[in-house]
Every structure is written in C-alpha cells, then in structure tokens.
Structure 1
Amino acid sequence: MTFSICVREEYEVDGDEQLRFGVAVTTRLPGVGTLCPFASEHGAVATQSLVNVELGRSGIEYIDDGLAVDDALQSLLNADEGREQRQLHGVDAEGTFAFSGEECNGWYGHVEGENYTVAGNLLVGEEVVEATADAYESTANGDAPLAERLIEALEAGHEVGGDKREELPVQSAALLVTRTGEDADGFTDDLRVDATETPVADLRATYEEAKRGYEIILERQEEQRPDETEEEVGASDVSDE
C-alpha cells in the first residue's frame, strides 16, 4: 500500500556528537501517519503492506529498551503469523533492518543503505524505491533540515510512479523526525496529510507553512527582546534604589 524511508544521521550541537532519526511515508489510502511511521530518539521504524501497527509500536519500544534494530524487528516478525504479508524496516543508532514478506503485493521490495532503508509494495516498479533511495543519498547529511530532505525523497519516488493504484484518489503522507540533541526544527518534525489527492505536494506545502510560522515567531521574539531588556534594566534600577 505504500513506500517509505527510514534514516539515521550524525550531527553536532556545540561540538557534541548527536543522532537524528527520520521516517517518511506515503500511500493511496487515508491516514497513513496513524499506522506506519514510528520514531524515538533511539531509532525509526516503518510497518506496511498488510499493516500490523503493533510491529511499529513494539519495534520502537524494543529499540528504546536497548535491543538492536535487527534483533528487535526480527523477533517481532518471528511471533507474527501474518509476517509473509508484512513489510517492516528501520534503523537504530548502529544498524539497519528490512523485511518484505513473500505474500506482499507486487511490485514489492526494499533496499538497505549504510544508514537508511527504503521499502514499498503495490508500486509501479523497483524504480520507486531506487529513486527514493538515490534522492536521499544525494542529500544525506546536507544543510537542509532532515524533514525537508525526507520530503524530497518521497517526491522522487512519487515522480517515477509511486503507488500503482490510480483508481484510489484519496491518499496520505506523513513524516517524523527525532533527535538526541536539542534543535530548532521542532515545528517541522511531526507532519502529516491525512486525506488528499496530492499527498506529497501537500506534505511539502505543510512543511513550508510550518517553517514560515516558526520564522514569524522568531522574528517577533527578536522584535520584543529589546523592550524586555529595557524593562529588566528599569526593574533593576528601581530595586537598587
């Protein structure tokens, strides 16, 4: 029903090494953001095809508890009688994992990179996951926020055909970004478009509006700061007297 990408990146905040994780997904059904993407400061997971939401929820919980992503997700699949109809993939601080069951609907498949995974099913072809992966690799650890680069990866997969079920007009898309260090991109870290005919374009528009709103807030804070400083100085003068 879907194609998605999970990524891990290293970055620095004031000289300290940090990690960020991201997951983005789109499909020709509504509400994908409630079903498929999961992330914490320890990893990112996507569950799809015949969705078992518990694989995503428990997968992140296991990773948070210290299990390696491959051990966490494989153990969940081993206990899932419907695993051959599932796709499950993700990343943690050190590794990657991707699984596509033999009973998923074609085209289906996945790719694993050094710090990312991409998977999809019911796609026009393998070129969708390849384009998504190539787009991410071309911008990996770039200057743009991870949320923006995840959207670019979805755009690349969508442009070569994406989900093949053109008879289904109502679509959706979502992204999640988490990190170990504090960052200024929080307003764009958890975005979704639940029901639309242009999910990736609308996710892009939602991102741009969220970014614009955050910039307006920052501008107003900067404008108010001199006044606040004067008030603080005035209060200090009064107390000194």
Structure 2
Amino acid sequence: MTFSICVHEAYTDSDGTDQHRFGVAVTTRLPGVGALCPFASEHGAIATQALTNVELGRAGTSYLADGLAINDALQALLNADDGRTQRQLHGVDADGTFAFTGDDCHDWAGHRTGADFTVAGNLLTGESVVDAVATSYEKSGRDDPLAKRLIDALGAGHAEGGDKRDDLTVQSAAVVVATTEDREMDPYYNDLRVDATETPLRDLRETFALAREGYEAAIEKYADA
C-alpha cells in the first residue's frame, strides 16, 4: 500500500517540560488506508503496508506501551509472521527507528531511515518518491504543526510520481499525531482521514486547514471555560 512516513520529535512545552510527539502519514491508490495502516500513540508511530497485516500495527503499539524498544517490538512481530516477505513495516519511538521491506513486495519497493524518521513505499514509480518524502520532512522546520508537515511530505512524494497504479482512481490518505503532553483539548487536526476520493492529498490538506481553523475557534470561544 503505497507510501508513508513515521516521525519522532522531542520538544519543550509551554511549561518548560520535555515532551515527545510521534506522527505517521500515509496515502494509497485504494480506499480506507487510514483504517489499516497508520498507528500512533504517546509511545511511538508505526506504519504497516504492502500486503497489510493490521495486527502488526496494533500489537506493535501495545508492545511499545509495555516498554519494548521499536526495533525489538517490530522484529519480534515479523519473526512470528509467516507472510513477512510480503510485508512492509516501519516506525519510530523516542530512542530509535525500524524499517523493513519484504523481498516479495512489488517494485518499486523500499525504505529510507533518518535519525528520527522512517519512510517506506511499494508499487511506486521509483526510489525518488521516498527520497522526496524524506527531503520534504527534513527541510520543513517546526513552525507548522507536525500533521501539516507530514501531509506536505506526502505531497512531495506524490509530485515525484507516487503510486504507479494510474488505473486505480479511488484513493485515500490519513495522518495521525500523538504526544506525551497532557492537554485538556487535543488539536482536532491531529487525527484525520480521507477515505475515498480521487484527490486524497488535496482533500487531506483542505481537511487539515478546516480542522485547524475549528480548533483555534474553539480555543478562543471556550478559553475561560
């Protein structure tokens, strides 16, 4: 299932406390990718794709909550998965990264890792797609919310060629961001999906803009509540 990015960022909140945020964004030329591939919690972010095994994301998230390192958690799950040669699985936690592309994933398939991020894709027009996603994220800075920067990174991959299955017009995209910060109201734009459309990244970008507008309006209206 196409291409995705997982990210970890350390930051300091308004009270001066060290925090961590984790994000994952994915898009594909099939509907409903947000229900299958992206997983994020205050412990890490995971994407499961290619011949998708949703349990790899669910169990991986649970393992991270139990204190396992991302590398140990995801490798253990793959070791127990008879279909691992057809899987793609990658993710991050606060201390490391993990990325795997099975030998039987359809070309082009592969991944790229950075200090605090992973990118992976399959059935792509070429390796330059994952490179474009990674470069966009690396150059994004931190002025904008992570969700927006992840959507923009997917957009860069799409502009580079993206998923090569041009005959499949019904597509989808999703972004999920989680943080260790304890907030009374989580931003509405941190968990968004576009499940069936011919323009998934444009629609996800527009959904993010509206969700951000709605969040900021709610904060202003209920600031004294």
- CA distances 1:89-127 after superposition (whole Å, capped 9, x unpaired): 000110000000000000000000000000000000001
Within 5 A, what are the aligned runs for 1:42-191? 42-140=43-141, 142-182=142-182, 186-191=187-192
- CA distances 1:8-47 after superposition (whole Å, capped 9, x unpaired): 0011111110000000000000000000001110000000
Within 5 A, what are the aligned runs for 1:188-203? 188-203=189-204
Secondary structure of the structure 1 residue equivalent to 2:222: helix
Deviation at 1:185, TM superposition (A): 5.4
Deviation at 1:214, TM superposition (A): 1.6
* Counterpart code for 1:113: G
Deviation at 1:217, TM superposition (A): 2.0
- Give distance in 1, aligned partners of 2:162 and 2:186: 28
What is the TM-score normalised by the length of structure 2? 0.96
- Give distance in 2, aligned partners of 1:33 and 1:124: 22
* Counterpart code for 1:202: D
* Counterpart code for 1:26: T
Question: What corresponds to 1:24 in structure 2?
Answer: 25
- Give distance in 1, aligned partners of 2:17 and 2:200: 36
- Give distance in 2, aligned partners of 1:35 and 1:206: 20
Question: What corresponds to 1:238 in structure 2?
Answer: none
- Give distance in 1, aligned partners of 2:28 and 2:161: 12
Secondary structure of the structure 2 residue equivalent to 1:139: coil
Deviation at 1:182, TM superposition (A): 3.4
Deviation at 1:220, TM superposition (A): 2.7
Q: From the superposition, tell whether residues 154 and 185 of structure 1 become closer, same or farther in structure 2 (CA, over 3 Å).
A: farther
Deviation at 1:84, TM superposition (A): 0.4
Unaligned runs of 5+ in 1: 229-241
- Give distance in 2, aligned partners of 1:182 and 1:201: 31
Deviation at 1:186, TM superposition (A): 1.7
- Give distance in 2, aligned partners of 1:215 and 1:19: 22
- Give distance in 2, aligned partners of 1:214 and 1:7: 23
Deviation at 1:181, TM superposition (A): 0.7
The 4+ residue runs of structure 1 with deviation greater than 6 A are none
User: Greater helix percent: which structure?
Assistant: 1
Name the Cα RMSD after superposition.
Answer: 1.3
Question: What corresponds to 1:235 in structure 2?
Answer: none
